[in-house]
């Protein structure tokens, strides 16, 4: 399965596509059950991107295109394996993969963030974390711009509500806190 790409196309792939590896991984980690699943999804994303690199129109938004492939890969895997992410499992994973230098505020936010629905997490990752425009986010999600706006609004509302609830109870159990703080 050799892609017949020219040296120039190969260089463009390296410079434009691989530059977004970190962004794709951190987004995939917020949508998958484990880091391993996230890395698999990202690897499959890049294999597909490589296969169709010739059809990618230079000058258009490569990052949005990659995210579009990534989200489709994750959705397809979830459908194939019936492994939609149970909320409780993501919490444990997050505890393990959270950077120990981070503050508990960030940890709490991450935990609440992971409780949002997948489509709300997707739009927040694109617009808030990756700072994409609504137009590019709409392209990545394959939805109209109006849908991006409404999803974003609902996601923010839910996040506010959940954070409000979270502030009234301890977010981290003692056992998990110990694991996190070790």
Partner 1 sequence: MNDCKSTSELLEFYVDSELDAVLTRAVSEHLESCVVCNRKMEALRLQNELIARAVKSVETDNRNLRASIEAATIARHQRLLEWSLPRIPAWTVATAAAILFISISFFLLPNLVDVVANPLFRAAAENHRMCGQQSEDTDWARTPQAIADVEESFVGHNKHAPITTEFQYQLVRARVCVLNGEKFLHLIYRNDDGNEASLFVRRNDSQPLDKDRNVTADGVNVQSSKLSDLYVAGIEVGPYVLITAAQTDVVSSRLLRSAVARFET
> Applying CB under 8 A, does 179 fall inside the site for partner 1?
no
Total binding residues toward partner 1, as defined by CB under 8 A: 50
Token pair 């196309």 is found at 9
Residue 14 has what DSSP assignment?
I
> Applying CB under 8 A, does 171 fall inside the site for partner 1?
no
> Applying CB under 8 A, does 166 fall inside the site for partner 1?
no
Q: Which of residues 88-147 bind partner 1 (CB under 8 A)?
A: 94, 97-99, 101-102, 105-107, 109-110, 113, 124-125, 127-129, 131, 133-134
Q: Name the segment binding partner 1 (CB under 8 A); options: 46-54, 64-72, 84-92, 174-182.
A: 46-54
- Contact status, residue 62 vs residue 136, Cβ threshold 8 Å: no
- CB-based contacts of 16-25 (< 8 A; 24+ apart in sequence): 16/62, 17/46, 17/49, 17/50, 17/53, 17/62, 17/66, 18/46, 20/62, 20/63, 20/66, 21/46, 23/63, 23/130, 24/66, 24/67, 24/70
> Applying CB under 8 A, does 160 fall inside the site for partner 1?
yes
3-state secondary structure of 177: helix
- Among the listed residues 130, 90, 129, 140, the one whose alpha carbon sits nearest the alpha carbon of residue 112: 90
Q: Name the segment binding partner 1 (CB under 8 A); options: 36-44, 57-65, 67-75, 173-181.
A: 36-44
> Applying CB under 8 A, does 22 fall inside the site for partner 1?
yes
* Site residues (vs partner 1, CB under 8 A): 1-3, 5, 7, 10, 13-14, 18, 21-22, 25-27, 29-30, 39-40, 42-44, 46-47, 50, 94, 97-99, 101-102, 105-107, 109-110, 113, 124-125, 127-129, 131, 133-134, 149, 152-153, 156, 159-160
């Amino acid at each position: 399965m050799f892609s017949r790409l020219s040296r120039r196309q190969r260089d463009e792939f390296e410079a434009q596509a691989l530059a977004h590896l970190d962004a794709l991984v951190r987004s995939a980690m917020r949508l998958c059950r484990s880091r391993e699943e996230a890395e698999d999804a990202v690897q499959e994303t890049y294999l597909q991107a490589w296969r169709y690199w010739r059809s990618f129109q230079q000058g258009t938004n490569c990052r949005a295109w990659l995210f579009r492939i990534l989200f489709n890969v994750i959705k397809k895997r979830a459908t194939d394996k019936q492994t939609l992410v149970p909320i409780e499992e993501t919490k444990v994973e997050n505890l393990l993969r959270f950077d120990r230098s981070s503050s508990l505020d960030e940890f709490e936010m991450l935990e609440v963030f992971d409780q949002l629905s997948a489509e709300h997490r997707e739009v927040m990752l694109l617009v808030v974390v990756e700072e994409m425009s609504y137009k590019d986010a709409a392209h990545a999600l394959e939805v109209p711009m109006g849908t991006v706006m409404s999803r974003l609004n609902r996601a923010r509302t839910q996040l506010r509500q959940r954070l409000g609830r979270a502030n009234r109870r301890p977010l981290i159990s003692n056992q998990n806190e110990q694991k996190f703080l070790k």
